[in-house]
């Protein structure tokens, strides 16, 4: 945030450096101090953080109707924010990758459990949409709010009636689909894939019309822009770190932006279409002016980790950003580069190996992003491991375990934890929500168990990654 202590200190130094000058000089310096302080206080009032998630923030959407913010997180939940107060929408069995508003009171979300969930924020009801066989990376809602498009790593695009009904799947990409976007008139759908292509689909015939561009690396994100009734250009961000602007009609590559930072992971267009913001794997946010295609801001927004999520506020004056932290940062766009970066502390799972014991290192790499070690547990994707030794699997109150673990007779001990990581969760507890991972080395498993014996009974925040 802006450093008003520094501003005040610099003004006081200037005042002390001129002893004996007339009162007008002193009065001017006092006024300067007051002005600087009021300016930074005003900036601080515009800056805010949304805190509460228990894992990295993967996506942000802003309602075009109400201006409300929704967030999707690795902690398996959707956050619906009223000011800084969250309401949690729970139902996904794995990380939530994307969330999108459907009008003023409905949302749709999707992620690593392959399913879409429709939420009604008024009455709290939800319904699950099944059909994809791999994780869903992106969602788009048609201009008339009647159709939802989903991009999945099963190489297909799902078209789901927002009011209910069977989906239609579009096939044509040869690798996972990362992004989808509707045209302004709702007649066309654009898609981007790991296969490096951007395709245009005719929604009336449910068929591929043409390939707009091909890139040598996978394409992660897309956005449509241009003046007039129809969009005239498409922007896309690539795995190799390029943001490219392409003429939709001719396929001409109009502008390329590359900074040796990869990959491009987030992209958002302001409501009036005048700004295009991108976020990359090195933690930078770049804001482009879409009229001049000049760079307005290139801001190191996160010192640790990538920028996964970007969204402009309803009026376009604020840019919301999320990444490796469990916090959403909201910066006034006009003063973006004057603020301190997010993620200034290294999450445990990104610490250097030499900074940790081997047991802590195994926990950091394999467990810390999903599990806390403290009694409260936070909002992690998995249950807290506090006092895990001697606990029956699937019995911690308040955590939504899979049916497999709810009926398990496993008691967590040195022997069962060792077997869990020797076999891997998918073999030791088939059907559980734990991701596939093994610790092959016997000494590494022993060191992890020794670390957990101490860390899960200490009652402190040691090892917690909130």
pLDDT 10s per residue in the chain (466 long)? 333 333 333 333 333 333 344 444 434 433 433 333 333 333 443 468 999 998 899 999 999 999 999 999 999 999 999 999 999 999 998 999 999 999 889 999 999 999 999 999 988 899 999 999 999 999 999 999 999 999 999 999 999 999 989 999 999 999 999 999 999 999 999 999 999 999 999 999 999 999 999 999 999 999 999 988 889 999 999 999 999 999 999 999 999 999 988 899 999 999 999 999 999 999 999 999 999 999 999 999 988 789 999 999 999 999 999 998 889 999 999 888 777 677 555 555 556 677 889 988 888 878 887 888 888 877 887 888 999 999 999 898 888 887 888 878 899 999 999 989 988 887 888 877 777 778 889 998 998 999 999 998 864 443 433 3
The CA distance from 316 to 442, in Å, is 54
The CA distance from 49 to 205, in Å, is 45
Q: What is the pLDDT of residue 102?
A: 96
Q: What is the pLDDT of residue 379?
A: 81
The CA distance from 276 to 268, in Å, is 6
Q: What is the pLDDT of residue 302?
A: 87
Tokens 């009026």, located at residue: 315
Q: Nearest to residue 69, comparing CAs of 318, 341, 306, 381? A: 318
| DSSP sequence for 116-175 | EEEEETTT--EEEE---SS-EEEEEE-TTS-EEEEEETTSEEEEEETTS---EEEE--SS
The CA distance from 296 to 282, in Å, is 19
Give domain limits for the chain. Answer: 4-46, 49-338, 348-455
Contact in structure between 176 and 137 (CB atoms under 8 Å): yes
**3-state DSSP assignment of residue 17:** coil
CATH number of 348-455: 2.60.120.10, 1.10.1740.10, 1.10.150.120, 1.10.760.10?
A: 1.10.760.10
For 463, the token pair is 């090892």
For 432, the token pair is 């559980």
Q: What is the pLDDT of residue 432?
A: 77
CATH level 3 topology of 49-338: Methylamine Dehydrogenase; Chain H (2.130.10)
pTM, to two decimals: 0.76
The CA distance from 37 to 43, in Å, is 10
The CA distance from 393 to 432, in Å, is 11
Asked if domains 49-338 and 348-455 share a fold, the reply is no
């Amino acid at each position: 945030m802006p450093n008003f202590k520094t501003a005040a200190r610099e003004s006081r130094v200037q005042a002390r450096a001129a002893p004996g000058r007339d009162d007008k000089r002193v009065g001017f310096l006092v006024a300067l101090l007051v002005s600087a302080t009021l300016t930074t206080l005003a900036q601080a009032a515009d800056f805010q953080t949304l805190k509460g998630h228990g894992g990295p923030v993967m996506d942000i959407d802003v309602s075009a109707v109400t201006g409300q913010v929704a967030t999707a997180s690795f902690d398996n939940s959707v956050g619906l924010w009223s000011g800084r107060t969250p309401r949690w929408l729970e139902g996904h069995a794995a990380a939530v990758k994307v969330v999108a508003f459907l009008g003023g009171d409905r949302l749709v979300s999707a992620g690593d459990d392959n399913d879409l969930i429709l939420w009604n924020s008024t009455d709290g009801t939800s319904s699950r949409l099944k059909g994809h066989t791999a994780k869903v990376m992106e969602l788009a809602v048609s201009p008339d709010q009647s159709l939802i498009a989903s991009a999945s790593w099963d190489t297909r695009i799902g078209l789901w009636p927002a009011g209910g009904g069977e989906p239609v799947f579009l096939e044509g990409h040869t690798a996972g689909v990362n992004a989808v976007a509707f045209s302004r008139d709702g007649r066309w759908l654009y898609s981007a894939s790991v296969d490096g292509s951007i395709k245009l689909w005719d929604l009336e015939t449910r068929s591929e019309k043409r390939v707009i561009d091909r890139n040598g690396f996978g394409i992660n994100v897309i956005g449509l822009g241009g003046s007039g009734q129809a969009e005239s250009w498409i922007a896309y961000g690539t795995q190799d770190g390029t943001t490219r602007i392409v003429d939709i009609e001719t396929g001409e590559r109009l502008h390329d932006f590359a900074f040796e930072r990869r990959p491009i992971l987030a992209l958002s267009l302001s409501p009036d279409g005048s700004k295009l913001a991108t976020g990359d794997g090195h933690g930078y946010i770049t804001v482009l002016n879409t009229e001049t295609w000049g760079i307005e801001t290139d801001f190191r927004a996160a010192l640790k980790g990538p920028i996964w999520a970007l969204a402009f506020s309803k009026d376009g004056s604020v840019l919301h950003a999320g990444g490796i932290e469990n916090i959403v940062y909201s910066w006034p766009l006009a003063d973006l580069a004057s603020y301190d970066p997010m993620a200034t502390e290294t999450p445990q799972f990104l610490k250097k190996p030499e900074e940790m014991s081997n047991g802590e290192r195994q926990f950091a790499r394999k467990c810390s992003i999903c599990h806390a070690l403290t009694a409260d547990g936070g909002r992690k994707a998995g249950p807290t491991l506090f006092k895990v030794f001697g606990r029956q699997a699937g019995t911690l109150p308040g955590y939504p375990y899979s049916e497999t673990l709810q009926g398990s007779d496993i008691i967590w001990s040195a022997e069962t934890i060792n077997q869990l990581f020797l076999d891997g969760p998918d073999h030791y507890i088939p059907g559980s929500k734990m991701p596939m991972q093994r610790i092959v080395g016997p000494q590494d498993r022993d060191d992890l168990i020794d670390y957990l014996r101490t860390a899960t009974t200490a009652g402190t925040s040691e090892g917690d990654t909130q």
